Amino acid sequence: MDKRLASFAAIRAALSLPLAPIQYLVSWPIRFAQDLKIVISTHDDLVKENLSLKTDQLLLRSQLQRLLAIESENNYLKSLLQSSRQVKGKTLIAELLSIEVEPFVNQAVLNKGTRDGVYVGQPVLDANGVMGQITEVGPLTSRLLLINDPHNGVAVQNARTGMRAIAVGDTYSGKMRLMYIPKTADIKVGDTFLTSGLSDHYPEGYPVGTIVLVDKDPAHQFAKIYLQPSAHLNSSRQVLLVWYQRNAHSSS
């Protein structure tokens, strides 16, 4: 009758009105399940995406830190290369293999030895100043006595006044101390001391340290004067081996 009589269409439309809530009620669980599935799927996707983004961020940070380390190393090598150009004679870049951890011992092992021409007493610099001198040499490695070791002494000169002195490593502070300086000496905090070139070990004019403490105690005969080494003894990885001309002349 719905197909044959056009007037029956109005009856069908009238009947659809009370049936609509039932149809909505029947379809609601299905729609709810579908919506819940979409929500769960979306949540899982967001969790996975979040984890992926965190992983990528961690990797990027790690790569960035590595790039910063490489950039810092490159800048340091440029400074070291510039320092080598100021040295008269042959130079060679070496790398620290290890640091001595014994108390009151400030030494390091380098990756250069006799096959590279390294000799006992050879001066070693970094990009900022004097590191120390070679005390032992093997075929492939050598031992560096750092400038702040208590067994190391350096002939130095005040860049401001020209006054000469001897600086030795201090056992407890890790700094250097000027020996036998009268309390009347013109020395101020901030003064820079350079190698004087009066010894056979170090070339002239290289930074040794900066005065950080001047104590003129009346109870003591000499002033207590400490220098902070100019070289980055605790952070430099690459150093510069110097073939000092005075040594070369004396050996020849």
pTM for this prediction? 0.65
pLDDT higher than 70, residue 40: yes
Amino acid found at 19: L
Cα–Cα distance, 141 to 241 (Å, whole number): 13
CA 211 to CA 152: how far, in whole Å? Answer: 18
- What is the pLDDT, as a whole number, of residue 142? 96
pLDDT of 15 > 80? The answer is: no
Closest CA to 128 of 177, 194, 68, 214: 194
The tens digit of pLDDT for each residue in 45-98 reads 888 888 888 777 766 775 666 565 566 556 655 666 665 565 666 888 899 998
**Contact of 145 with 152, CB cutoff 8 Å:** yes
User: How many CA within 13 A on the CB side of residue 145?
Assistant: 18
Strands 238-242 and 224-229 turn out to be unpaired
Which one-letter amino acid corresponds to residue 181? I
Q: pLDDT for 4-13, tens place per residue? A: 666 666 666 6
Please give the single-letter amino acid code of residue 77. L
Lowest mean pLDDT among 30-39, 41-50, 133-142: 30-39
- With DSSP H G I counted as helix, E B as strand and the rest as coil, what are the percentages for the chain, rounded to 5? 35, 30, 35
